[in-house]
Structure 1
Amino acid sequence: MTKRVEKTYQFENPEQEMGLVGPADAHLRLLEESLGTQLRVFGDRLTIDGDDERVIMTLAIVEKLTAIIKRGVKIGPADIISATSMAENGTLEYFGDMYTETLLHDAKGQAVRVKNFGQRQYVQAIAHQDITFGIGPAGTGKTYLAVAMAVAALKQGSVEKIIISRPAVEAGESLGFLPGDLKEKVDPYLRPIYDALYAILGKERTDRLLERETIEIAPLAYMRGRTLDNAFIILDEAQNTTPPQMKMFLTRLGFGSKMVVNGDLSQVDLPRSVTSGLRQAAQILAAVPHIQMIYFKNSEVVRHVAKVVAAYDQASENLK
């Protein structure tokens, strides 16, 4: 049985308080919404009121957040969401560790870091395995982090080029009316890839690397018959591959290359009679050495779409 309690946290300085509270108390409101507690600031003290277990969890999150603020990290909504998700999953103890390593700095000079335990496992798998599968809902950062790791590898000289692909499968829309060849038709569907590259490298540098073919973005059909050596290869939206397409893609891996395969098995756009190549690969390759499967949870969604994903999942369960 829960009981209502109140606990107090004392800030060490005004900078720590301002960093945690956020603009117009936005961070406090997000914590309240996520945890079901009430937070109020009086001078240099923060009071937390609510059910005892939720208050204890909120206090633990506040302590973790203020610890990284003390280290000079400017937190935002994504950090709040990550901390609350990790607390709910029982992995809050690892929260501070995520801020000890910077993958790279983006086009604005901001540090790119992992945001939750799932992302941490994903990045470590990419660093140490030949092929990494990132499987989970939209908003978990799979594409962005894969691109960030690819750019970091290119900058370090461990690969000579980046190749990013996706299957040309329509998500309830028609490719046929669009002008141009297959690549030109599918380019609009590759927009998330371009957005990630622009955010990390900047548009001008991305465009230069695309012109030099140091970065190549192409439909999956363009991979057939190639052997990709010394490359960082990313397959996005892999749930829309057929089993033969997935096998074809995986066997493109050459010497000195690394491959990341991302997808969301809840968003398969293939005909009902066709098995997803990603689903089959996850079963066949689970125990193969140098290949690792990372499964993201709905609670690890780092964008403000977590509630949308949860609502649709709940509706799907109710319809079964």
Structure 2
Amino acid sequence: MVKRIVLNDFSALHILFGNLDENIKTIEKHFDVNIASRDGEIIVKGDPNHISAVEEIIQILIRAIQAGEVIDQQKVNYVISTVKVGEGSRIEDLSKSFIVVTTKGKYIKPKTLGQNAYIKAIQENDVTFGIGPAGTGKTFLAVAMAVRAFKNNEVNRIIITRPAVEAGESLGFLPGDLQMKVDPYLRPLYDALYEILGADTYNNFRERGLIEVAPLAYMRGRTLDNSFIILDEAQNTTKEQMKMFLTRFGFGSKVVVNGDITQIDLPSGKKSGLKNAIEVLKHVKGISFMYLTERDVVRHELVKKIIKSYDSYEQKQKSFETKTTQKNKNMSRRNR
């Protein structure tokens, strides 16, 4: 079967095909079709069962290009995976969603349906939990939402915190004053703020007390009104720390708690405050729990595969441990 898609926008056509036709080659590989362009037309040859999906993908990408979006391999692969599960029509919502503009004129938007649902949950709830693997944009999008709320005068200040827990290794003695000692733990938060606000604006706001980036221990004993408060790396809080944090916010405040429950760096025997909060608060109205998956990863395509492989391995390990435990119990009963 041959399908002709008329497209007179030659600049969009060039962007669609990508450098050395890498975008089109990706589509061809997934659907075993041949795609070429001639005189403002895109010609697709292949299995009739695949042609309609390919046409939908091309139309979605063309509309994204015309909306000013960057089309890279991550975008192409995400559109392909979304169309394959029958959710292609929902991608249009991503072009309409807009959070904030950086100092360099870059538009910050959600890149996946999961990210879009996440920012909508932040808008609609006083407390939102963002739970998912690394690379899903939990921290960056939360910071972008905080900056937007601040610029729109919805809050008077932004407070971002995270527990100072070493990721499975000892950093030893760190020189300098207290701020210099904790800064390495907070670096990802600074990076997000620098990218969105620019270093000069961030430093100005920080000096005036409008933005505060601090370890979680600094939150104890405070009541935070009219603030946008973000707790990052929440899987590394203890139950006591999480309870302390969630009882800090006051009137006019919004809270976002982010974490990855597959990467807990607490000492053995300590239960994660994030895991505990999911159990304790799952039925409380006004609190939203948003779960992002490997499909929402916006890093290198291999990162998705790595996350998926680890998840699969850990599930097999849990299943094996459960069966072993049950087998030992059964043997113990027999011996009695």
Q: Structure 1-normalised TM-score?
A: 0.90
Q: What residue number does 1:42 align with?
A: 37
1:12 maps to 2:8: yes
**Greater than 6 Å deviation, 4+ residue runs:** none
Aligned pairs for 1:43-192 (under 5 A) are 43=38, 44-48=40-44, 54-192=50-188
Number of matched pairs = 315
Counterpart-to-counterpart distance in 2, 1:53 and 1:220: 54
Distance 1:315 1:113, change over 3 A: same
Percent identity reads 47
2: distance between equivalents of 1:203 and 1:30? 38
One-letter identity of the residue aligned with 1:290 = G
Matches within 5 A, 1:230-249: 230-249=226-245
Q: 2:202 aligns with which of 201, 206, 225?
A: 206
1: CA distance, partners of 2:26 / 2:139: 25
Aligned to 2:257, what secondary structure does the other structure show?
A: strand
Listed as ranges, the gaps of 5+ residues in structure 1 are none
Is 1:300 aligned to 2:296, yes or no?
yes
The answer to whether the 8 Å contact 1:227/1:254 transfers is yes
Please give the alpha-carbon distance, in whole angstroms, between the structure 2 residues aligned to 1:85 and 1:244. Answer: 40
- From 18, 22, 29, the equivalent of 2:18 is 22
Amino acid at match of 2:314: S
- Which residue identity is paired with 1:108? K
CA distance in 2, matches of 1:124, 1:172: 34
Instruction: Provide closer, same or farther for how the CA distance between residues 88 and 229 of structure 1 changes in structure 2, counting only shifts above 3 A.
Output: farther
Q: Do 1:82 and 1:302's aligned partners in 2 also have CA atoms closer than 8 Å?
A: no
Amino acid across the alignment from 1:238: A
Distance 1:274-1:60 versus aligned 2 partners, 3 A rule: same
1:168 counterpart letter in structure 2: A
Give the direction of change, closer, same or farther, for the CA distance of 1:52–1:284 in structure 2 (3 Å limit). Answer: farther
Task: Output the CA distance in 1 between the equivalents of 2:82 and 2:308.
Answer: 17
- The answer to whether structure 1 residue 283 and structure 2 residue 269 are counterparts is no
Written as runs of structure 1 = structure 2, the 5 A alignment for 1:193-272 is 193-272=189-268
RMSD: 2.1
CA distance in 2, matches of 1:88, 1:199: 34
Question: Residues 300-319 of structure 1: matches in 2 within 5 Å?
Answer: 300-304=296-300, 305-319=303-317
Contact 1:37 1:55 in 2 (8 A): no
Deviation at 1:318, TM superposition (A): 4.1
CA 243–54 in structure 1, closer or farther in 2 if over 3 Å, else same: farther
Which amino acid letter does the alignment assign opposite residue 262 of structure 2?
Answer: S
Unmatched runs of 5 consecutive residues or more in structure 2: 319-336
CA distance in 1, matches of 2:97, 2:139: 19
The alignment's TM-score, normalised by the length of structure 2, stands at 0.86
Structure showing the higher helix proportion among its residues: 2
- Mapped contact 2:233–2:258 kept (Cα < 8 A): yes
Distance in 2 between the 1:86 and 1:129 partners? 27
- Deviations 1:105-152, CA, capped at 9 Å, x for gaps: 112101111111111111111111100000001111111100000000
Please tell me whether the aligned partners of residues 97 and 116 of structure 2 are also in contact (alpha carbons under 8 angstroms): no
Q: CA deviation at 1:39?
A: 4.7
